[in-house]
Amino acid sequence: REMPSIQKMTDILVDSGIEFLLVNTSETEDEVFTFLGIVAPDLMPLMDLDGQATELWQPRGLPATYLVDPAGRIQYQALGGREWEKPVYLDFLRGLRSR
């Protein structure tokens, strides 16, 4: 449910200057690419093969979404799925760029 929503959000915000990265922490590369190929073919995931991202960010649930500033600091965290293409989230993300 969340990946198609993230795909729509990235399509809408393509020229916003916001970078979107996906980090997979548990599935194999084959599982991830098969799944994304079906539900969100334009998204490219990074694989946390050594567990460093998981160790550093300590997600408390999945999916976990982090908004990270250019210096690498977590500014916001969302646990659980969201409908990221909804206006309330798009406006929130656009507002971050104006700070």
**Domains of the chain (ranges plus CATH)?**
2-94 (3.40.30.10)
Specify whether the CB–CB gap between 2 and 85 falls below 8 A: no
Average per-residue pLDDT for the chain? 89
Amino acid letter for position 70: P
pLDDT number for residue 26: 87
Confidence of residue 50 (pLDDT cuts 50, 70, 90): very high
* C-alpha atoms less than 13 angstroms from C-alpha of 37 in its C-beta half-sphere: 6
Residue 1 is encoded by which pair of tokens?
Answer: 């449910």
pLDDT of residue 61: 81
Per residue in 71-96, pLDDT (tens digit) is: 888 888 999 999 999 999 999 999 88
pLDDT at residue 60 greater than cutoff 90: no
Cβ atoms of 95 and 88 within 8 Å: the answer is no
